[in-house]
Amino acid sequence: MDIPIRQQIRLLEVQVRGIQNIGCTERDIYNYERNLKNEMIGHNVELLYEHFLLEQEKNACFTYTIKKDENDRITYYFWTYAKSRRAYNCFGDVVIFYTTYNNTRYEMIFAPFIRVNNHCQSIIFGCSFLSDETIDSFLWLFD
């Protein structure tokens, strides 16, 4: 759960009967949460790589592309499954493309490629996350 730090402090204060008994400052809790989030982001990046590699082991036609910046941070990534690529090759005459507002935990924009088939079902051809909506981002994505 995302409990605001001020509420965490108040809860700790009640549990240990006084702010003087907490054993840390509010700043310590902010720093701890920041470090924990950074650690989780790094761990999630590793999980993303592992997932992509496992998918590629299962099916050689699974493709993904990851672009990093000069600080080795992921700026864009795209993936598509073999089944999605086949569907695109058969039915890719009209594709819906849109981006979500930058509201994800990692401050990246979700950009799926979708088609609606003749049964009114959505078919996802591929998905991407972008760090921004610049021309360079879209040139990279559509390449």
* Chain centroid, CA 143 distance in Å: 21
Give the burial class of 113: count Cβ atoms within 10 A of its Cβ; 0-12 exposed, 13-18 middle, 19 or more buried.
buried
Listed in sequence order, the DSSP H helices in 16-109 are: 26-58, 82-91
Q: What average pLDDT score do residues 90-94 get? A: 66
Listed range (38-42, 61-65, 125-129, 130-134) with the worst mean pLDDT: 38-42
User: Could you tell me the residue ranges of all domains in the chain?
Assistant: 1-58, 60-143
What is the percent of the chain where pLDDT is above 70? 84
Q: Cα dist. 81→7, 62, 85, 90 in Å?
A: 44, 5, 6, 14
Burial 75-90, CB ≥16 within 10 A → b, else e:
bbbbbbbeebbebbee
Confidence of residue 44 (pLDDT cuts 50, 70, 90): low
Q: Both tokens of residue 51?
A: 């997932």
pTM of the model: 0.58
